[in-house]
Structure 1
């Protein structure tokens, strides 16, 4: 067995792992990065990037349809898929490998597994094992994997998971989607626009995007139905059959759906399988719990960032945690203060910003009304129709949407903001700043929105509040 000493070992070369490596090298430490599959991770090749490449044509088509005087021909699926392939570099991670090596950091291809305190064994495809020893820290950044619900016959029916949807080569004419969250909604709409003429969304709950404000899911469901997608709420799948083709999905109400493919998008879980957690006295199974410095309590050299720690399954939040973690590791390695404000994760507790790139777009930051009340805040909410904002008219006919602000009445600051409407993602960062910095409403009143833009929604929400 080969053996190598290094300051910091990072297991996982996705966006979170790469950011840890970048920060520790910048801080003067040596770093080894272990990756079993593609450097760049799930987001770069199978999630954020390809899904948005598939969704962008749908968004532009909707924009064009709203503006009189513009005409749009049919979407060319082959061209869209080719653009998707370009966006993911044809699943070639050479560019990401170059970036890691130029930090400089050492990239090891293989399965990384904890072997004891500060020890990681890396098993390459040829079975060769390299033992890495960390002088200061080991950082786990292995992400998450899809969850397959225990429905009889589902696993045997060879369902699509998220990777199958984003790497699709041939769009099925009939598509069934199990789930009502972000992946289900985004990929259901994208594949429908690309040729899945019969698309059925089977949602167990009472609405789409169940973790967001209810109005957002309602607007999205209306849009989907108007586009010809069959959205079935309260749908309970009892069994799935697939001897050959098609796949048949049986529901509790006695009905059945036939489809060429079934996409299962019912959530993800931390990728802790065969990570060797038991070798360092940790339970194997759930998220790897960490404190606000991303360190595992009771194990002073072990850290976990991104989906693996269960705090927030969003790429940008994993990258944020990674920046905190990398800087903390450097500070502790060099004997510097490790309790500065920038060295603690405070954003996850407030409610992370998130964008759902559907039509209409849905985005939110902070707490929903339900979450704020559950947390004991003195809550007041205000809502406003985005279509009534002056700038909305210029975005085209039929511009509809809604905004909602959740306010802490005692302190008169925003606890959360949700937007649903065309292109509202560009409104989100202003809300993120206001929520994170806890800007008083009386101060926010003096942040004047430009006319005529949809950002005038801020003025209207504050007027609804009474300012």
Structure 2
């Protein structure tokens, strides 16, 4: 075994791990980063990047067909081969060599292999033992959850990895799970010509978001041709020749050439050596406001592994929390920007962009809120996004503190609307002051003006 010493050892080179390692190396620390798959992580190669590459062409085509003058110029279906080529360009053919210069320029030592703790401040990677003089940061991720459905394991199901990187598209695709991955991949594949059946055990899709958002996405998917079956659980799966057949609880079946399972994620903590430092493997790892494990002043856990907010952007944010604390520059008021404060976007048509509470979580938290709904495109700016575009903007006002505590916006290309709402929620900006942030005309940002009008401001 070869022993090496560094100031900080980061286990996991996804977005969170890269950001933490970069910030610490830029501050002059000696940093090692450990990765057993791809530098860049799940997001870069099998999730966010390739999925949006598959979604964007259909989204753009749908919008173009709503705009007079453009609609007449748009004929024919998407060029599927071109879409897949562009997807491959964005993920660099699943080659992470383009990620390495960024590490090399900062003097970050990369160790390829599975890293696991081996006692306090020690990480073992193959034949190397890495000692951390200051800290270890665990920045691994999650794996797709596989529900206990009879016959599922033997049916060669897809996860997000196969769905986002498929070389050819199946004629028929069955999707189990109506959360974010399920609805996004259903839309992507139906836009590319695949016949899609979407199965969700809950009574509606996207059960964690506002119900109006679910209704609009459901209507849109159905119009695009997705066969949606809610409130029905899959009870068994089997391969029948080249087809996979899913049997539902009511006896109905759904058949496809491939089956995508999108029923959630599980934390990859089982093989991290947690037991060597007195922690229990399996499940998420509890951390404090600095992302540090309580009682272990040298161990930090960022991103999906701590279960606080399973988003790439929050892993990067938590990387800043951890690195700042290690460097003696802790960030203040971190409770405002984690958990319910995390912004989130579902890239369907309509898009769903949300931050903070929904009406359901606000009620569960005991908040007294006023709900204000306005049409996303019900203003002059909205007229440029085509006829018949769905969209609602919901604002949740804490009536006691008179601040915004949640917002959900649906509509065409509304993802970038989210930052203004995030600033208002995380900054706890008083409504009286927020009123002076005047939206430009003619833009759909006038949804804020409509909010102020509803509040009499």
Aligned counterparts, 1:282-321, within 5 A: 282-321=279-318
In the other structure, the counterpart of 1:448 is: 438
* Distance (Å, rounded) in 2 between the aligned partners of 1:402 and 1:412: 22
In the other structure, the counterpart of 1:103 is: 106
1:97-139 CA distances to partner (integer Å, 9 max, x unpaired)? 111121111000011010111111001xxxxx10011101000
* Distance (Å, rounded) in 1 between the aligned partners of 2:202 and 2:437: 39
8 A Cα contact 2:309 2:339, kept in partner: no
In the other structure, the counterpart of 2:185 is: 187
Distance change (3 Å), C-alpha of 1:377 and 1:179: same
* Distance (Å, rounded) in 2 between the aligned partners of 1:201 and 1:33: 39
Aligned counterparts, 1:239-388, within 5 A: 239-331=236-328, 339-341=330-332, 344=334, 346-388=336-378
1:116-163 CA distances to partner (integer Å, 9 max, x unpaired)? 11111001xxxxx10011101000011111000001111111110000
Distance change (3 Å), C-alpha of 1:443 and 1:20: same
Task: For residue 205 of structure 2, give the secondary structure of its aligned residue in structure 1.
Answer: coil
Aligned counterparts, 1:22-421, within 5 A: 22-70=22-70, 71-72=73-74, 73-123=76-126, 129-196=127-194, 198-331=195-328, 339-341=330-332, 344=334, 346-421=336-411
In the other structure, the counterpart of 1:335 is: none
Task: For residue 171 of structure 1, give the secondary structure of its aligned residue in structure 2.
Answer: coil
* Consecutive unaligned residues in structure 2, runs of 5 or more: none
* Distance (Å, rounded) in 2 between the aligned partners of 1:232 and 1:464: 38
* Distance (Å, rounded) in 1 between the aligned partners of 2:383 and 2:271: 55
Task: For residue 74 of structure 1, give the secondary structure of its aligned residue in structure 2.
Answer: coil
1:399-440 CA distances to partner (integer Å, 9 max, x unpaired)? 221010111001110000000111111211111111111111
* Consecutive unaligned residues in structure 1, runs of 5 or more: 124-128, 332-337
Task: For residue 96 of structure 1, give the secondary structure of its aligned residue in structure 2.
Answer: helix
8 A Cα contact 1:386 1:421, kept in partner: yes
* Distance (Å, rounded) in 2 between the aligned partners of 1:445 and 1:437: 14
* Distance (Å, rounded) in 2 between the aligned partners of 1:392 and 1:86: 33
* Distance (Å, rounded) in 2 between the aligned partners of 1:461 and 1:199: 38
In the other structure, the counterpart of 2:19 is: 19
May I ask how many residue pairs the two structures share in their alignment? 454
**Dislocated runs of 4+, deviation >4 Å:** none
Task: For residue 282 of structure 1, give the secondary structure of its aligned residue in structure 2.
Answer: coil
8 A Cα contact 2:173 2:257, kept in partner: yes
* Distance (Å, rounded) in 1 between the aligned partners of 2:345 and 2:269: 27
Question: What's the offset of the Cα at 1:446?
Answer: 1.8
* Distance (Å, rounded) in 2 between the aligned partners of 1:424 and 1:466: 25
Task: For residue 394 of structure 1, give the secondary structure of its aligned residue in structure 2.
Answer: helix
8 A Cα contact 1:172 1:261, kept in partner: yes
* Distance (Å, rounded) in 2 between the aligned partners of 1:389 and 1:457: 8
1:349-388 CA distances to partner (integer Å, 9 max, x unpaired)? 4421011111110010011111112111111111112232
Task: For residue 3 of structure 2, give the secondary structure of its aligned residue in structure 1.
Answer: strand
1:327-360 CA distances to partner (integer Å, 9 max, x unpaired)? 11122xxxxxx55517x45411442101111111
In the other structure, the counterpart of 1:438 is: 428
* Distance (Å, rounded) in 1 between the aligned partners of 2:399 and 2:213: 24
Question: What's the offset of the Cα at 1:258?
Answer: 1.0
